[in-house]
Amino acid sequence: MEIGYKRLSTLIMSTPYLSVVIPTYNEAQNFKNGVLDPVVPFLKSQSFSWEIIFVNDGSSDNTVELLKKHFQNYKNIRILTIPHGGKSAAVTNGVLAAEGKYILFTDFDQSTPINFSLPFLSVHEAGADVSIGVRGGSSSYKSDSIMSKLRSKIFLILVQFIAIPGILDSQCGFKSFTKQAAKKIFTSLRVCHQAKVSGGYMGAFDVEVIFLAKKFGYNIAQVPVDWVRIPSKHLNVLKEPLMMVRDTIKIRLYDILGRYAEV
């Protein structure tokens, strides 16, 4: 797929064309399983400049040691370590540290492959400020259970009704932004910064990000992606959906109360 940018200029720019932010929490086993193996070879095969920022969200295993050993010779791969704050804190820290013209965050397990960054970059070059992945609209979509699909569908209906109508998939962990939109959105989060979290808590982080993108009038593109569900031991499958609904209601309430007007 051809992307409408000047290839020569991106090769010599000190600012990367694409920043890839990867939140990281106790991922040693995933790392050993080779989930990251395609990422760097793919990026190296592109003509644009890039960087990767791994944000270690207070991992208690040897994730950081594995990352440092594997990527120690790459000057454009950084590892940030923060106190455990959940996915919202990890992605936010990575986005605010990113220097690229476009900033993408993706899951460590690569449930959506990194090659889908290309259609995302294409829609950015065509004018989109924010691009979000839509699972199930491309060639492959695999989930681990009917119950999981049902739970996701119910949550999506609630999210569309309460906060972000018209958004087909708020929860896909593959989203990208222009640098300007990213910095504005991620410095404006109010609900999904948690003082204390347990496990891999996510809450309605993605919902608040999209809600703010719509509120600020950014052009949002919804891009079909492949997605394979990789079961996580970090999340409480019973507690997490309830917390997400709670946070979604909180986002709408904050808007009504004018909390985002302070931004």
Q: Where are the domains of the chain?
A: 7-262
Contact 78, 43 (CB under 8 A): no
Is there a contact between 185 and 213 (Cβ–Cβ < 8 Å)?
A: yes
User: 7-262 belongs to which homologous superfamily?
Assistant: Spore Coat Polysaccharide Biosynthesis Protein SpsA; Chain A (3.90.550.10)
Res. 6: pLDDT tops 60: no
Q: pTM for the full model?
A: 0.88
How far separated are the first and last CA of the chain, in Å rounded?
A: 38
Share of the chain above pLDDT 90, in %: 69
Tell me the per-residue pLDDT of 21-44, one tens digit each, with 9 for 90 and over.
999 999 999 999 999 999 999 999
pLDDT digits (tens, 9 = 90+) for 85-132: 989 999 999 999 999 999 999 999 999 999 999 999 999 999 999 999
